[in-house]
């Protein structure tokens, strides 16, 4: 549906409420100023996709131009074959050359309230010094460097310094436990770890270095641990292994030549949950990834030189990689970076920040929006949010109620909302409105971006014109994952085995009569908790790791705030009591093993679990029980009695 097709009458009401079909038309004023204000971009991409992507790759600075746009040996893609470039050069040097060195890159705010303003010059200096420091310690092109940090500027320096010398960064979210960090370091065989003494979150200090120490004990590949002084808390520095960041960079030289990287050289590995428990190391390379994030930053966020952008994600997730670091910085964007939580010291912290820095574009997650809804409108109302002109959402489907609330109470009824669908694997946004062009429907991510061929399929692989099915991608795109680190078989099996030649992201979707996509969430055993993928297996293995647990089955249940919450069915070993103390102990145990984000909301003690004859746990039934629904088909169940007992038991507890 295009703007032109919406009748004049509808346009005048702007936000037309038509039962199932609420639409929001971009205002003429927004459209006129937008970078992309004309839908011809879709046709241009469809006409010759490779030429189209080549044009957008050309917006980057290349040391050597590519010979060929795409080499596609299903399921292995190479983009911009033969091209040479450097990501840190594209995010820094080229801006300095254009005289943008004094432009603010980051307005940083720590949770306790201290602030820093960093220009592109400042970041350039910090990155060059750190790059030299790392080189001096023996880090070379291709080495993996793990980064376990709070939301401070040094985290960005670390990523860009790695990119500068051709080292592969693997950022591990600072909320992950020692075990999770260890597992990722081991899988990536990282040689180096960059961390901080601690960080601030909800008024408390996270003991990052202490956690890192526990992880590193069992990681023989780690040669050095570099520690940023953030909180000043006491930490143990192991002689010979641990070094202070400030001491290293103080001594380092000011300029480090950026390594000319092949377009297909690895830029980073980022771990995401998988059904078999072991996290998957998603591999992204340099040229295609940068092309994808840089192009979508312009199309979707419409960022111009004077904008103040704020993406509230943690740098530890792909959203932070693509839309804090590489996308915005490739365009010399000015952005806000905030270390802490939205309710510290009060529930208006985000809105205070928007007001203070006059944020114009704000990108957050539905789970946060639902939390703000619960806290009440008095918090945003107390702040001046009139600087905002565009809002974004990512991480899970945004329910129409939350969309409308976000639009009214944060976007003062004026800001378009871009609901952006993508994944760690896709590298950049694939399904999203282009705000100056697309007519919005609350709850729909609208349409595939130019150059992206998404479809909805039946189980058998037939294209669904209208109705529900599985989301799939018909052709490769520049920022797509290049594989799972060290495991090509798993890569093929996970993403490319469902239908011939099609990428399967694992999401269900519905397509409506206007060709709009409505994402329906995961179809497998991955839960989506507060916008993050957590596998049921990971939580199950954390539970059975506790000495009192014999067996467990975990399901994601609908949660108003987080999208999904975790419910765990647990069979205790002989001699252990299923009381409230056990409940607390096990919840705490999971949080310690994986991180607070995986803490189960409910534990349901049971004597048996419903299994199929082949011994597979029937999660669907557990979900029905945990959500209090009528049970679905039970014919494949080995022992139907189990489920009756469980149901009664659960109802007692609920
Ligand atoms: C999964 C990817 C993309 C960065 C954050 C999460 C879900 C993401 C949307 C959206 C509906 C969404 C999907 C996807 N998802 N954005 N706008 N609408 N669902 O990255 O951890 O790799 O998770 O998040 O289920 O597959 P991730």
For 625, phi then psi, to 5°, come to -65, -50
Q: List b or e across 318-339, with b for residues whose CB sees 16 or more CB atoms inside 10 angstroms.
A: bbbbbbbbbbbbbbbbbbbbbb
Question: Which has the closest alpha carbon to 327: 291, 358, 361, 362?
Answer: 291
82 Rama sector, left if φ>0, alpha if ψ -120 to 50, beta otherwise: left
Is 555 in a helix, a strand, or coil? strand
- Domain-located, residue 525: no
Helix and strand numbers, DSSP H then E, in the chain: 23, 32
Cβ-count burial of 121 within 10 angstroms (0-12 exposed, 13-18 middle, 19+ buried)?
Answer: middle
Decide which of 499, 519, 539 is a domain's last residue: 519
Stretch (H or E) spanning 163: helix 153-165
Query: Please, which residues bridge with residue 239 across strands?
Result: none
Cβ-count burial of 99 within 10 angstroms (0-12 exposed, 13-18 middle, 19+ buried)?
Answer: exposed
To the nearest 10°, report the CA torsion of 268, 286, 449, 55: 170
Q: Is the peptide bond before 75 cis (omega within 30 degrees of 0)?
A: yes
- Domain-located, residue 58: yes
Centre of ligand 1 to C-alpha 376, Å, is 26
- Domain-located, residue 197: yes
Is 32 in a helix, a strand, or coil? helix
| CB-based contact 471:505 (threshold 8 Å) | yes
Domain match, 347 and 484 both: yes
Decide which of 211, 238, 259 is a domain's last residue: 259
Domain match, 453 and 574 both: no
Domain match, 424 and 285 both: yes
For 129, phi then psi, to 5°, come to -65, -45
Centre of ligand 1 to C-alpha 397, Å, is 8
- Domain-located, residue 391: yes
Rg (CA), the chain: 24
Count Cβ atoms below 10 Å from residue 230 Cβ, excluding itself. Answer: 23
Residues in the chain: 654
Domain match, 305 and 384 both: yes
Centre of ligand 1 to C-alpha 458, Å, is 21
* Ligand 1 probe mutation, 399, 422, 441, 517, most atoms within 8 A of CB: 422
Gap between the Cα atoms of 623 and 639, Å rounded: 17
Centre of ligand 1 to C-alpha 533, Å, is 8
- Domain-located, residue 392: yes
Gap between the Cα atoms of 455 and 477, Å rounded: 14
Gap between the Cα atoms of 59 and 381, Å rounded: 40
640-649: long-range pairs with CB below 8 Å, 24+: 642/608, 642/609, 642/610, 642/611, 643/610, 645/606, 645/607, 645/608, 646/569, 646/604, 646/606, 646/608, 646/609, 646/610, 646/622, 649/604, 649/605, 649/606
Domain match, 30 and 175 both: no
| CB-based contact 600:568 (threshold 8 Å) | yes
Centre of ligand 1 to C-alpha 334, Å, is 25
Domain match, 42 and 118 both: no
Q: Count of domains in the chain?
A: 3
Domain match, 225 and 285 both: no
**Ligand 1 atom closest to 420 (CA):** 17
Residue 623: its pLDDT value, please?
A: 85
| CB-based contact 428:479 (threshold 8 Å) | yes
Q: In Å, what is the CA distance from 262 to each residue of 14, 49, 61, 85, 329?
A: 48, 22, 13, 7, 20
* Ligand 1 probe mutation, 323, 519, 523, most atoms within 8 A of CB: 519
Domain match, 287 and 355 both: yes
Gap between the Cα atoms of 416 and 438, Å rounded: 10
Residue 164: its pLDDT value, please?
A: 98
Gap between the Cα atoms of 229 and 225, Å rounded: 13
- Domain-located, residue 388: yes
**Ligand 1 atom closest to 422 (CA):** 3
Residues in Cβ contact with 645 at an 8 Å cutoff, skipping those fewer than 6 apart = 606, 607, 608
| CB-based contact 571:551 (threshold 8 Å) | yes
Is 183 in a helix, a strand, or coil? helix
Residue 551: its pLDDT value, please?
A: 81
pLDDT in tens, 439-451: 999 989 999 999 9
Q: What is the CATH number of the domain that holds 191?
A: 3.40.50.980
- Domain-located, residue 103: no
Gap between the Cα atoms of 388 and 170, Å rounded: 33
Q: What is the CATH number of the domain that holds 543?
A: 3.30.300.30
Q: What is the CATH number of the domain that holds 332?
A: 3.40.50.12780
- Around ligand 1, the residues with Cβ closer than 6 Å are 272, 317-319, 394-397, 419-424, 445, 505-507, 519, 521-522, 528, 531-533
| Shortest-distance Cα residue to atom 7 of ligand 1 | 396
| CB-based contact 433:446 (threshold 8 Å) | yes
Domain match, 296 and 443 both: yes
Gap between the Cα atoms of 104 and 122, Å rounded: 9
Gap between the Cα atoms of 535 and 521, Å rounded: 14
Decide which of 486, 519, 552 is a domain's last residue: 519
Gap between the Cα atoms of 466 and 280, Å rounded: 33
Q: How many CA atoms lie within 13 A of 560 on its CB side?
A: 6
Domain match, 233 and 156 both: yes
377-382: long-range pairs with CB below 8 Å, 24+: 377/409, 379/346, 379/347, 379/348, 379/351, 380/348, 380/351, 380/409, 380/410, 381/409, 382/348, 382/351
Question: Which has the closest alpha carbon to 199: 210, 183, 191?
Answer: 210
- Domain-located, residue 91: no
Question: How is residue 251 annotated by DSSP?
Answer: H
Angle of helix 49-57 versus helix 40-47 axis, rounded to 10: 110
Centre of ligand 1 to C-alpha 531, Å, is 7
| CB-based contact 286:258 (threshold 8 Å) | no
Gap between the Cα atoms of 354 and 415, Å rounded: 14
Residue 624: its pLDDT value, please?
A: 84
Question: Which has the closest alpha carbon to 311: 392, 250, 370?
Answer: 392
Centre of ligand 1 to C-alpha 415, Å, is 22
Question: How is residue 3 annotated by DSSP?
Answer: G
| CB-based contact 395:423 (threshold 8 Å) | no
- Terminal Cα-to-Cα distance of the chain (whole angstroms): 46
Domain match, 255 and 283 both: no
Residue 189 sits in which domain range? Answer: 114-259
**Ligand 1 atom closest to 506 (CA):** 26
| CB-based contact 57:80 (threshold 8 Å) | yes
| Shortest-distance Cα residue to atom 17 of ligand 1 | 421
Residue 223: its pLDDT value, please?
A: 98
pLDDT in tens, 131-184: 999 999 999 999 999 999 999 999 999 999 999 999 999 999 999 999 999 999
Question: How is residue 356 annotated by DSSP?
Answer: H
For the chain, which ranges sit under pLDDT 70?
1-21, 274-277, 612-616, 630-640, 648-654
Domain match, 379 and 241 both: no
Gap between the Cα atoms of 170 and 143, Å rounded: 10
């Amino acid at each position: 549906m295009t703007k032109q097709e919406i009748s004049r009458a509808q346009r005048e009401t702007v936000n037309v409420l038509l039962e199932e079909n609420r639409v929001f038309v971009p205002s003429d004023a927004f459209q006129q100023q937008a970078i992309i204000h004309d839908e011809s971009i879709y046709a241009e991409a469809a006409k010759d996709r490779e030429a189209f992507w080549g044009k957008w790759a050309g917006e980057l600075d290349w040391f050597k131009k590519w010979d060929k746009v795409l080499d596609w040996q299903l399921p292995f893609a190479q983009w911009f074959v033969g091209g040479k470039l450097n990501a840190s050069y594209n995010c820094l040097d080229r801006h300095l050359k254009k005289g943008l060195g004094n432009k603010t890159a980051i307005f940083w705010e720590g949770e306790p309230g201290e602030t820093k303003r960093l220009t592109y010059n400042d970041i350039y200096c910090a990155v060059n010094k750190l790059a030299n420091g790392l080189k001096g310690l023996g880090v070379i092109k291709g080495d993996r460097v793990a980064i376990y940090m709070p939301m401070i500027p040094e985290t960005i320096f670390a990523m860009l310094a790695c990119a500068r010398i051709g080292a592969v960064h693997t950022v591990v979210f600072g909320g992950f436990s020692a075990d999770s960090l260890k597992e990722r370091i081991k899988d990536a065989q990282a040689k180096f770890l960059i961390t901080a003494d601690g960080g601030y979150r909800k008024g408390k200090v996270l003991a990052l270095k202490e956690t890192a120490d526990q992880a590193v004990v069992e990681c023989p590949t780690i040669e050095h641990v570099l520690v940023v002084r953030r909180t000043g808390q006491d930490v143990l520095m192991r002689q010979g292994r641990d070094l202070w960041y400030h001491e290293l960079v103080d001594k380092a030289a000011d300029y480090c030549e950026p390594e000319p990287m092949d377009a297909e050289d690895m830029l980073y590995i980022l771990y995401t949950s998988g059904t078999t428990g072991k996290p998957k190391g998603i591999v992204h390379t340099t040229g295609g990834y940068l092309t994808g994030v840089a192009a979508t930053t312009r199309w979707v966020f419409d960022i111009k030189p004077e904008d103040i952008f704020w993406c509230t994600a943690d740098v530890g997730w792909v959203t932070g990689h693509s839309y804090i670091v590489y996308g915005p910085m490739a365009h010399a964007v000015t952005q806000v970076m905030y270390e802490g939580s939205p309710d510290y010291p009060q529930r208006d912290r985000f809105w205070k920040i928007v007001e203070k820095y006059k944020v114009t574009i704000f990108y957050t997650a539905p789970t946060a929006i639902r939390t703000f809804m619960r806290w009440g409108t008095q918090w945003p109302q107390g702040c001046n949010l009139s600087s905002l002109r565009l809002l974004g959402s990512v991480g899970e489907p945004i329910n129409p109620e939350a969309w409308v609330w976000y639009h009214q109470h944060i976007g003062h009824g004026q800001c378009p909302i871009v609901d952006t669908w993508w994944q760690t694997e896709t590298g950049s946004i694939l399904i999203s409105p282009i705000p100056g062009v697309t007519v919005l429907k609350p709850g729909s991510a609208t349409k595939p971006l130019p150059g992206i061929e998404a479809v909805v399929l039946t189980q058998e692989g037939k294209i669904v014109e209208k109705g529900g099915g599985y989301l799939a991608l018909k052709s490769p795109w520049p920022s797509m994952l290049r594989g799972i680190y060290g495991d090509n078989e798993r890569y093929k099996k996970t993403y490319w085995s469902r239908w011939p030649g099609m990428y399967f992201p694992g999401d269900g979707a519905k397509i409506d009569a206007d060709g709009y996509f409505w994402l329906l969430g995961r179809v497998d055993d991955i839960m989506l908790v507060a916008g993050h993928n957590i596998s049921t297996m990971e939580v199950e293995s954390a539970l059975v790791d506790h000495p009192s647990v014999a067996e467990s089955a975990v399901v994601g249940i609908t949660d108003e705030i987080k999208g999904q919450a975790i419910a765990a069915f647990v069979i205790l070993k002989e001699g252990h009591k299923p009381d409230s103390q056990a409940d607390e102990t096990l919840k705490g145990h999971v949080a310690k093993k994986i991180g607070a984000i995986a803490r189960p909301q409910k534990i349901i003690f049971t004597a048996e679990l419903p299994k199929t004859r082949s011994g597979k746990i029937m999660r669907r039934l557990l979900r029905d029980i945990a959500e209090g629904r009528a049970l679905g088909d039970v014919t494949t169940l080995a022992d139907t009695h189990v489920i009756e007992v469980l149901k009664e038991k659960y109802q007692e507890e609920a």
